[in-house]
Amino acid sequence: MNTTQITTAQRIKAIVGGSVGNLVEWYDWYAYAAFAIYFSNSFFPDSDLNAQLMNTAGIFAVGFLMRPIGGWIFGSIADKIGRKKAMTLSVLLMSFGSLLIALTPTYKTIGILAPALLLIARLLQGLSVGGEYGVSATYLSEMASENRRGFYSSFQYVTLIGGQLIALGIQLILQKLLLTEAQLEEWGWRIPFVIGALLSVIALYLRANLHETEAFENKKEISDKKKGTVTELLKHPKALLTVIGLTLGGTLAFYTYTTYMQKFLVNTVHLTKEQSTLISFISLFIFACLQPVFGALSDKIGRRPLLLGFGILGTLCTVPLLTALSTTTSMWTAFFLIMAALIIVSGYTSINAVVKAELFPSEIRALGVGLPYALTVAIFGGTAEYVALWFKQAGTEQYFYWYITGCILFSLIVYAGMKDTKDNSSLDKD
C-alpha cells in the first residue's frame, strides 16, 4: 500500500489502530506499578512497607531485564515478516501475563510459589513490552506523512501515558466509589489485571485490521539475512550508541516522575494513597496532552532543539525540584512541582521514538529502535524505583536526585553532538 495514496482519514485510522494496541500494552504494564501499594503484602510476608515495596519494585525491575530480549525477538520479527504481525503477537503475550497475575493465589495460600508466579508473569510482560516499543515506534513513524512525523509519532507516548492514566483512573474509581482499602488489599487489586486481559481482545481486533507500511513492503526483496539481524545492526554503531545516549537520561527522568512518583508521594511526602493517585492522574493527563504539541513543534523547528531543552533544564532543575517536592506538605504544591518536571521531560518523550526511527534503514529499523532502547531502559528506567527506595532506606535519598541529574547531563552531551534527524532522516530514503 503506497503511503502517497493514503488519505488523511486512512492514515489516522492506521495511527489509531497502532496506538490503541500500544495503550492496552502499557495499561497492562503500568497496572502493576499503580496497584503495587495494595498487592505487595499479598506476595511478600513482611510487615515493613518499604521492604514490601522494594521486593515488588525488584520484580518490576526484573521485568525490565526481559525487555532487551523482547526488543530483539519482536524487532527481528517486525523487520523480517512485518510490523503488523509483530504488534499482534506482542499484545497477545501481554494479555497472558496480566491474566496470570490476576489468577495467582497469595503467599498465605501457596507460599513461595506466589512471588515465583508473579515473577514469571512479569517476565512475559517484559518480553512483550520490550518488543512493543520498537515495533510501534517504527510503525507510527513509517505511516506518518513526511512533514508530520513528530506529531504522529508523539501519539506513542500519548497512549503510553494513557495506559498509565487508565490504570490510575480505575484505581481512583475503586478507591473512591466501589471498594474499601481493606477490600483493595485483600482481592480488589486483581480487578485491573482482569480488565487488562479483556482489553487485549479489542487491541487484537484493531491490529488484525492494520495496513502494513510501505517502507516494509518496499524492502521485501532484500534477503532475510540482512533484515532484522544483530549482525546487520552492528554495521550502524554510531546510530546504536546515539540511541543509548539519548535514551539514558530521558528514561530515568520519565520513570521517576511517572511510575515511581506515586510511591514517592506516599513514602516521602507522606500524602495519602488517594491524594497521590489523584495528583498522578491529573499531572499525567496534562502530560499526555502536551506530547502532540511538542511533537508538532519538532516538525517546525527540528528535533534537536527540544532534546537540548530537556537536557539543559533537566540538568539544572532536577535537584531543586525533587528537593522542594520532598519537603512540601501541600498537595497542590506537589502537583505544580511534578507538572514543571513533566513539561521539561516532554522535550524527550514527545519525539524520542521518531528520532530513533529516523536513524536506521527500514530493514533493521524495528530492531535498531527497540533493542538498544530496551537495554538502556532496563538498566536505568527499570531500576529507577529500586535505586530510589535503596537510597531512601540508606537515609541518603538526595543522592538519587544527583544520580538523575548526572544521567541527564550525559544525554545532554549526546544531544549537543548529534545532527538533527529531521533533516537527516533515513525515513526519507524508503
pLDDT digits (tens, 9 = 90+) for 155-172: 888 988 898 889 888 888
DSSP class per residue in 136-199:
HHHHHHHHS-GGGHHHHHTHHHHHHHHHHHHHHHHHHHIIIII--HHHHHHTGGGHHHHHHHHH
Q: Does the pLDDT at position 381 exceed 90?
A: no
Q: Does the pLDDT at position 44 exceed 80?
A: no
pLDDT in tens, 225-280: 667 788 899 999 999 999 999 999 999 999 999 878 888 898 888 898 888 888 98
Calculate the average pLDDT of the chain.
86
Specify if 270 maps to a domain: yes
Q: Does the pLDDT at position 1 exceed 50?
A: no
C-alpha cell, 147: 512533514
Q: Can you give the CATH number for the domain in which 288 is found?
A: 1.20.1250.20
Specify if 225 maps to a domain: no
Yes or no: say if 28 and 94 are a contact pair by the CB < 8 Å rule: yes
Specify if 304 maps to a domain: yes
pLDDT in tens, 2-11: 444 566 777 7
pTM value is 0.84
Specify if 221 maps to a domain: no
Q: Does the pLDDT at position 33 exceed 80?
A: no
Q: What's the pLDDT at 96?
A: 87
Burial grade of 234 (CB within 10 A; 0-12, 13-18, 19 or more): exposed
Separation CA 138–CA 271 (nearest Å):
40
Q: What's the pLDDT at 274?
A: 81
Separation CA 377–CA 137 (nearest Å):
15
Exposed e or buried b per residue across 307-334, where buried means at least 16 C-beta atoms within 10 angstroms of its C-beta: bbbbbbbbbeebeebbeebbebeeeeeb
pLDDT in tens, 170-191: 888 998 888 888 888 888 989 9
Task: Summarize the confidence of residues 134-151 as an average pLDDT.
Answer: 87
Which are the contacts of 185, defined by CB distance < 8 A and separation ≥ 6? Answer: 38, 39, 41, 42
Separation CA 89–CA 72 (nearest Å):
14
User: Please, which pLDDT band fits residue 75 given cuts at 50, 70 and 90?
Assistant: very high
Q: What's the pLDDT at 248?
A: 95
Specify if 283 maps to a domain: yes
Q: What's the pLDDT at 51?
A: 64
Angle between helices 49-65 and 384-393 (to 10 degrees): 150
Task: Summarize the confidence of residues 390-416 as an average pLDDT.
Answer: 94
Specify if 66 maps to a domain: yes
Q: Does the pLDDT at position 127 exceed 50?
A: yes
Specify if 423 maps to a domain: no
Residue type (1 letter), 48 = D
Q: What's the pLDDT at 278?
A: 87
Which are the contacts of 155, defined by CB distance < 8 A and separation ≥ 6? Answer: 15, 19, 140, 291, 292, 295
Q: What's the pLDDT at 77?
A: 92
- Domain that includes residue 180, residue range: 9-212+232-417
Q: Total domain count for the chain?
A: 1
Task: Summarize the confidence of residues 124-132 as an average pLDDT.
Answer: 86
Residue type (1 letter), 352 = N
Specify if 408 maps to a domain: yes
Query: How many other C-beta atoms are found inside a 10 Å radius of the C-beta of residue 7?
Result: 8
Query: How many other C-beta atoms are found inside a 10 Å radius of the C-beta of residue 389?
Result: 24
Task: Summarize the confidence of residues 123-141 as an average pLDDT.
Answer: 87
Q: What's the pLDDT at 2?
A: 44
Q: Check the CA dihedral 122-127-132-138 and report its sign.
A: positive
Separation CA 397–CA 293 (nearest Å):
34
Task: Summarize the confidence of residues 48-56 as an average pLDDT.
Answer: 67
Separation CA 60–CA 160 (nearest Å):
17
